Structure 1
Amino acid sequence: MDNKISLTQLKELVTEAHEQFKGNTDGANADYIPYLANINKDLFAISICLMDGEVINIGDTNYAFGIESVSKVHTAILALRQYGADKLLELIGADATGLPFNSIMAILLESDHPSTPLVNSGAISACSMIMPIGDSDAKWKAIVDNIAELCGSETPLIGELYKSESATNFNNKSIAWLLKNYNRIYDDPDLALDLYTRQCSLGVTSEQLAITAATIANDGYNPVSKKQVFKASLSPKITSLISTVGFYEHSGDWLYSSGIPAKSGVGGGVLGVLPGQFGIAAFAPPLDGAGNSVKAQLAIKYIMNKLNLNVFGGNRIIIED
């Protein structure tokens, strides 16, 4: 069923969601990364990018926060672009672990592959895959250029966050070398880990994440830059990865209650993809126990339920002027 809504009404709904939840005080900033612990907990932003490139921004949408694990989506896309869907499945996989995002146990349980590029082990493995192998500078350029294409603009490195991440990434060091033990890392482990740490330390706005999500929803065509970033056939692949593990061990609960595939990061960002309709992103630093932004979840669920949209349903909206 098609439901018609004006652009003005949609903007009013996003504003309503922001007003509804901006006073929420649940959750806490990530404190295992010192930089993130000190971010203003009251920051809150919601952005929607439509298929025609129209962007709705409400709140602190110009604030550049740490992209963190949302960057896993971008680099998974780059690996898909470079290797294709079948090779990614062979080298990394597409299974949900059902365990926390930084789980070492998941590698031991599934030693034949790191499960998915959207958990830490698979993301480090994906960074190791990025071509050209062995050239850190060229690999980093490929990663940041790909992210800029998806976001429609550049994402600067937050030096203080990178330093903070590098000083505390002991668990990820263990993951990188355990992957090496199982022959599931495809370049120098320390090089791959540094690339992963750096990409997590990029600064991104909610608008940039909404544009990324819209590009995925729009079969790889960035509706803002008007550029075909990746092949249309890859969009269902990345959306399926987001669906199965975007909220880690809470992914099923999230899909059940929100109806939209989404990827979270401990920086407070959430990116949601509704194929053929729009990309949505929200940002607020306080997290729940699984590392997902409390207010971002509430806002996106509110908007999806008010619009009566669900990736598993038949309803669609038509935006009228």
Structure 2
Amino acid sequence: MAELEKALADIAAEMAARTDRGNVATYIPQLGKIDPQKFGIAVATNDGSVLVAGDADEAFSIQSISKVFTLTLALGEVGDALWKRVGREPSGNPFNSIVQLEHENGIPRNPFINAGAIVISDIMLAGHRPRETIGEIVRFVRFLADDDTIAIDHAVAASEQATGFRNFALANYMKSFGNLRHPPELSLGVYFHQCAIAMSCRQLAMAGRFLANDGRHPETGHSVVSAERARRIASLMLTCGHYDGSGEFAFKVGIPGKSGVGGGILGIVPGVGSMAVWSPGLNANGNSQLGSIALEMLAKAMNWSIFAPR
């Protein structure tokens, strides 16, 4: 544990000195206001330890990291029937691209691009009002993190709603193919609010533990998902979790991860634990510039690549 504590402290110190911090996501006005100097990192191990460094207890908008949790919920509701409406392949295109939808008849390439996550929101809406579905998502994340203070940043949700023209286009286009069953504005309402959930690195690392623990909640031992489903979600994180930068992340870091344009990244080391990093500045692919570097350093220091011999 001392080795991990030192690694986190060293990484936080190096990140504080870096000047190549990327650019904050100004296309969502509320995110454009975040201080790019922020950096936090947290690791929650399967044995119950939590170690943090930097701004690890400051809440930020998790954005697309929420797609991991909504995918988990939707699979619990409809099982593998979900894959009739969403693919499982890397996109190779920007996260908000509409190009592939035309060639693939309104079926998004995977659940972690925007179009795929909007379909997941639509699946979760079945038989519910948007407010009920949003409440279910928040309750699930609170349960996973064992923290009832987690909430939605409504200013961010409103900002996304006011500027989400590309997402409206994606939803309407999929509706034209029959791959949305509800009015697009309802599915998008769920989507915008799930992306606006605010969590700290500590909370996010805690929420991801079940994926590193064969699908079980470490505190209770109860199964959140089957071990097989946990592995499948993690495999999608590895291949699709960083949009068209997924291959680069897998190559350099070597663990399943999911990024968000709020600057956060959730990482999973099966059998070991989960980690979260936050630095608001993004690289060209929309992933945290320093967060990606920090996780590469951490995986190397702790020999945590899933491809490394144990």
TM-score by length of 2: 0.95
Residue 109, structure 1, aligned to residue 103, structure 2: yes
Assess if the C-alpha contact under 8 Å between 1:152 and 1:225 holds in 2.
Answer: no
Q: Residues 77-226 of structure 1: matches in 2 within 5 Å?
A: 77-84=72-79, 86-111=80-105, 113-154=107-148, 155-224=150-219, 226=221
Q: Secondary structure at the match of 1:130?
A: helix
Deviation at 1:59, TM superposition (A): 1.1
Deviation at 1:92, TM superposition (A): 1.2
Q: Secondary structure at the match of 2:17?
A: coil
CA distance in 2 between counterparts of 1:33 and 1:156 reads 19
Deviation at 1:98, TM superposition (A): 0.7
Residue 261, structure 1, aligned to residue 256, structure 2: yes
Deviation at 1:91, TM superposition (A): 2.1
Tell me: CA distance 1:228–1:153, structure 2 relative to 1, closer, same or farther (3 Å).
farther
| Counterpart AA for 1:247 | H
CA distance in 1 between counterparts of 2:172 and 2:128 reads 17
1:21 alignment counterpart: 15
1:11 pairs with one of 5, 8, 16 = 5
1:306 alignment counterpart: 301
| Counterpart AA for 2:101 | I
1:34 alignment counterpart: 29
Deviation at 1:134, TM superposition (A): 4.6
Assess if the C-alpha contact under 8 Å between 1:260 and 1:274 holds in 2.
Answer: yes
Deviation at 1:183, TM superposition (A): 1.4
- Identical-residue share of aligned pairs (%): 33
CA distance in 2 between counterparts of 1:225 and 1:38 reads 39
| Counterpart AA for 1:269 | G
Deviation at 1:133, TM superposition (A): 2.8
| Counterpart AA for 1:313 | A
Question: 1:213-248: CA deviations, max 9, x gaps?
Answer: 221111222224654322322101111111111111
Question: 1:47-68: CA deviations, max 9, x gaps?
Answer: 0010012111111111110011
CA distance in 2 between counterparts of 1:54 and 1:207 reads 11
* Aligned residues: CA RMSD: 1.5
Deviation at 1:149, TM superposition (A): 2.2
Higher deviation after alignment, 133-142 or 233-242: 133-142
CA distance in 2 between counterparts of 1:41 and 1:128 reads 34
1:233 pairs with one of 222, 225, 228 = 228
2:272 alignment counterpart: 277
CA distance in 2 between counterparts of 1:131 and 1:173 reads 17
CA distance in 2 between counterparts of 1:186 and 1:276 reads 38
Tell me: CA distance 1:224–1:297, structure 2 relative to 1, closer, same or farther (3 Å).
farther
Assess if the C-alpha contact under 8 Å between 1:149 and 1:229 holds in 2.
Answer: no
Deviation at 1:289, TM superposition (A): 1.0
| Counterpart AA for 2:140 | N
Deviation at 1:114, TM superposition (A): 1.1
Deviation at 1:151, TM superposition (A): 2.5
1:248 alignment counterpart: 243
